Amino acid sequence: MAQNTTQHNIRTTDIDKKIVSSIDNGILIVDEELTVHHYNKWLELQTKIKESDILGKKLGDIFPSINTKTLLRKIKTALRMGTPTFYTASTSKYLIPIKINQIKNSNFTHMQQDVSIIPFDHEKKQVALILTDQTIMAQTHVLLQENIKKVEELNAQLLKEKEHSQRQHKQLLAHSRSAAMGEMISMIAHQWRQPLSLINTIIAGLQLKQEMQILTKENMHSSFEKVEKTVFYLSETINDFRDYFKPNKTITEVNLSELFNKSMYFLTNEITQSDIQYNANIDTNIVIQTYKNELLQCIINIIKNSLDAFLESDIKEKKISINAEKKGDMIFITIQDNAGGIEEEILNKIFEPYFSTKSKNGTGLGLYMCKTIISEHLHGKITVESQNNSTTTLMELPYKLEKKQ
Amino acid sequence: MQKFTLSEDEQDVLQELMNVAYGNATAVVAEMLDAFASLSIPNIKVMPTKELLQTFQKLKESSYFFSTQAFNGEFNGESAFFINEKSAQNLAKHLELETQEDLDDAILELTNVLTSTLTTKLAQEMSTEVSFSLPSISKIPLSEIENIDTFLQYSQVIVIDTELNFQDQKINGNIFILTKDESIQWLKIQLNTILEQLI
């Protein structure tokens, strides 16, 4: 039995020794005075100091970079507690200075170490220091931190750019609104031209009759009535424009056919003057839920673009055709003209702000505003296709728009 | 739910054991810091993790350093230690530490001392052992507290709250011992064994 125990002890000691000498960790034993009592093979190889040269010497004398005050505190605490104390590479970098051979891709000159200080012999006040190489982990950590910093910087830049773009977008919308106002004034001018000329004629007639001294009370009364009626019409025109160009706050039910008729009310003078054949094929029963005035603005804008295109082309049979069709939950509206078409290379730029092909009075904001209104407010889509001499604008809109964003 | 909460008797025994463990911890901390130290009587509570995370959130607001350490064995879990900035500065002054790295190291050491002395003593009283793994001890930036998914593994947590005082330099710390349900069940069995022996 005694022999077995001895054999067991020898074998265990042998195993322990082998493990301690071949393990991929540094193991050294020191006492409370920091005198070295064991220095394993790994440490010999890494520090190029033989165990025989270090045994009995003070650790602080061999490695002056060690903060002996902190080390002694940790040793005493470990012995007092009977449980380990530690150094971690993340805060303490290293205990034993071991230069790194690998020059490539390293942020460190010395091996980064985790160190466990384990109570070894309470009577002799000895502890075992176990060193683990954490250089790769530390290197990975540094790389990770660098990349996190880069990502944070990129993110901050992105946020800045987003803010800038949002600011720009707001400015553009403000410009668009001014441009739309300009369009409106131009349309009012169109509407007013004829009644103003009528008033002018009535007044000229009155003057002529007075000069010829044939002006009667009846003449005057009838002329004033006509002027009054015409002025009322002028005033009504302004009210109509104001009502229809004010953005809607609420979603309402809109009869699509009536909405197109309304657009014609604003554009009919120009269509007639340009001798354009206007044809709308819209089911009178189609009623959609949307922001009425916003949609009307888009329709007028698109038809106005066709009218302007006709002004700059020399087309014989001018045509604008409107079609509307309900498919599932969506309404598909197409506005087609034969005003010459759009060249392919500029087709993908037409929704960009400040892009205009018009020779005069083009702000380049009309289609940009249409796209913004349709995608952001009406939750739809607008696309433009061009073939031969014809341009087709397709608007896809939800049949029932739920709520404003 | 009942099996993860402590009865009044169980809590009493745990409080007694903790008082002993804290006596031990005080002595070690005093030696470590070479100063007269006292610890307030620990306040023991078992609380759901959700409540704990709310407590962490509150502590975070007063700019605390935060570190964790895992312990293994029949009684296993994780400890979380908070120390506020003023206390950390006092600690640095007392230990004559010059760099942030040295201060971080001292905070980790304090975490280790408190965790080790508390859990070891508790384990001893319950005839078991605990071991401490080095890689689990780390200083975690407070901004990352919410990201520590591991805390969600705990449904109930034993919270041991105490205040450390060193001479006239006040160093306040809060330590939380987090254990999983199975460890609380194990703890209940051990506490009941002790209770039976007392009768």
Kindly list the strands in the beta sheet with B37-39, ordered across the sheet, starting from the edge strand earlier in the chain: B37-39, B164-166, B169-171
- Predicted pLDDT of residue A62: 95
Instruction: Quickly state the pLDDT bin for B145 (edges 50, 70, 90).
Output: low
B104 inside 8 A of chain A by CB:
yes
A86 and B108 in contact by Cβ < 8 A? yes
Proportion of chain B in helix, strand, coil states, percent, rounded to 5: 55, 25, 20
CATH superfamily of A249-405: Histidine kinase-like ATPase, C-terminal domain (3.30.565.10)
Give the closest-approach CA distance of B135 to chain A in angstroms.
8
Give the closest-approach CA distance of B115 to chain A in angstroms.
10
Q: Which residues from A are below 8 Å from B when comparing CB atoms?
A: 67, 70, 73-74, 76-77, 80-88, 90-93, 114, 116, 132
What are the chain A neighbours of B112 within 8 Å (beta carbons)?
84-86
One pLDDT digit (tens) per residue for chain A, 405 residues = 555 666 666 666 778 888 888 889 999 999 999 999 999 999 999 999 999 999 999 999 999 999 998 899 899 989 988 888 988 887 788 999 998 876 666 788 899 999 999 999 999 999 999 999 999 888 888 899 899 999 999 999 999 999 998 898 888 777 777 777 777 777 778 778 878 988 998 899 889 988 998 888 888 898 899 899 889 888 887 887 777 667 767 888 999 999 898 888 778 878 888 889 999 999 888 999 998 888 888 898 899 889 888 888 888 899 999 999 989 899 999 999 998 888 888 888 888 777 776 655 566 677 888 888 898 889 999 999 998 889 999 999 998 887 644
Q: Which domain holds residue B161?
A: 2-198
Q: Which residue of B has its CA nearest to A117?
A: B134
Residue type, A124: K
CA distance A365 to A123: 89
**DSSP state for residue A25 in the 8-state scheme:** S
Interface test with A, best of B32, B66, B99 (most A CBs within 10 A): B32
CA distance A30 to A66: 14
Q: A183: which 2 tokens?
A: 């369009």
B109 inside 8 A of chain A by CB:
yes
Interface test with A, best of B24, B105, B132 (most A CBs within 10 A): B105
Give the closest-approach CA distance of A77 to chain B in angstroms.
6
Residue that the structure tokens 């009667």 belong to: A216
- Predicted pLDDT of residue A297: 84
CB A127 within 8 A of CB A75: yes
What are the chain B neighbours of A93 within 8 Å (beta carbons)?
101
What are the chain B neighbours of A68 within 8 Å (beta carbons)?
none
CB B113 within 8 A of CB B69: no
What are the chain A neighbours of B137 within 8 Å (beta carbons)?
86, 88
Instruction: Quickly state the pLDDT bin for B6 (edges 50, 70, 90).
Output: confident
B32 and A80 in contact by Cβ < 8 A? yes
Phi, psi of A111, deg, nearest 5: -60, 130
Q: Which residue of B has its CA nearest to A87?
A: B105
Q: B127: which 2 tokens?
A: 């005839």
Q: Are strands A113-121 and A85-87 parallel, antiparallel or unpaired?
A: antiparallel
- Predicted pLDDT of residue A311: 84
Neighbour tally for A236: CB within 10 Å: 11
Greater confidence (B73 vs A148) lies with A148
- Region of A341 on the Ramachandran plot (φ > 0 left; ψ -120 to 50 alpha; else beta): left
Give the closest-approach CA distance of A56 to chain B in angstroms.
26
Q: Do domains A2-133 and A249-405 have the same CATH topology?
A: no
CB B108 within 8 A of CB B67: yes
The total domain count for chain B is 1
B113 and A81 in contact by Cβ < 8 A? yes
B28 and A84 in contact by Cβ < 8 A? no
Give the closest-approach CA distance of A101 to chain B in angstroms.
25
The DSSP secondary structure of A138-172, one letter per residue, reads HHHHHHHHHHHHHHHHHHHHHHHHHHHHHHHHHHH
What residue ranges do the domains of chain A occupy? 2-133, 249-405
CA distance A167 to B84: 42
Instruction: Quickly state the pLDDT bin for B149 (edges 50, 70, 90).
Output: low
A83 and B120 in contact by Cβ < 8 A? yes
Which of A84, A88, A93 is the closest to B138 by Cβ?
A88
The DSSP secondary structure of A85-118, one letter per residue, reads EEE-HHHH--SS--B-S--TT-S-SB--EEEEEE
A51-60, A242-251, B143-152, B189-198: range with lowest mean pLDDT: B143-152
Q: Which residue of B has its CA nearest to A137?
A: B135
Reply yes or no on whether the pLDDT at B146 is more than 70.
no
Give the closest-approach CA distance of A86 to chain B in angstroms.
7
- Predicted pLDDT of residue B46: 78
- Predicted pLDDT of residue A37: 96
Greater confidence (B183 vs A117) lies with A117
What are the chain B neighbours of A132 within 8 Å (beta carbons)?
134
Reply yes or no on whether the pLDDT at B76 is more than 90.
no
B120 inside 8 A of chain A by CB:
yes
Is A2-133 a domain of CATH 3.90.1640.30? no
Rounded to whole angstroms, what are the CA distances from B115 to A92, B18, B63, B81? 20, 12, 22, 9
Would you give the distance in Å from CA B39 to the centre of its chain?
13
Give the closest-approach CA distance of A167 to chain B in angstroms.
31
A157 burial via Cβ count (<10 Å: 0-12, 13-18, 19+): exposed
Its pTM surpasses 0.90: no
Which of B28, B120, B135 is the closest to A77 by Cβ?
B28
CATH of the domain at B103: 3.40.1550.10
B153 inside 8 A of chain A by CB:
no
Instruction: Quickly state the pLDDT bin for B167 (edges 50, 70, 90).
Output: low
What are the chain B neighbours of A74 within 8 Å (beta carbons)?
109
Interface test with B, best of A85, A93, A133, A152 (most B CBs within 10 A): A85
B32 and A87 in contact by Cβ < 8 A? no
Question: Largest Cα–Cα distance of chain A, in whole Å?
Answer: 155
- Predicted pLDDT of residue B28: 82
What are the chain A neighbours of B116 within 8 Å (beta carbons)?
81, 83-84
- Region of A93 on the Ramachandran plot (φ > 0 left; ψ -120 to 50 alpha; else beta): left
Which of B101, B120, B132 is the closest to A92 by Cβ?
B101
Give the closest-approach CA distance of A69 to chain B in angstroms.
10
Reply yes or no on whether the pLDDT at B125 is more than 70.
yes
Going through A310-368 in order, the beta strands assigned E by DSSP cover 319-327, 330-337
Rounded to whole angstroms, what are the CA distances from A318 to A312, A313, A321? 12, 10, 10
Q: Which residue of B has its CA nearest to A115?
A: B134
CA distance A392 to A385: 5
A86 and B101 in contact by Cβ < 8 A? no
Which residues 133-152 of B have a C-beta within 8 angstroms of A?
Answer: 134-135, 137-139
- Predicted pLDDT of residue B1: 42
| H-assigned helices in A212-255 | 217-244
CB B81 within 8 A of CB B72: no
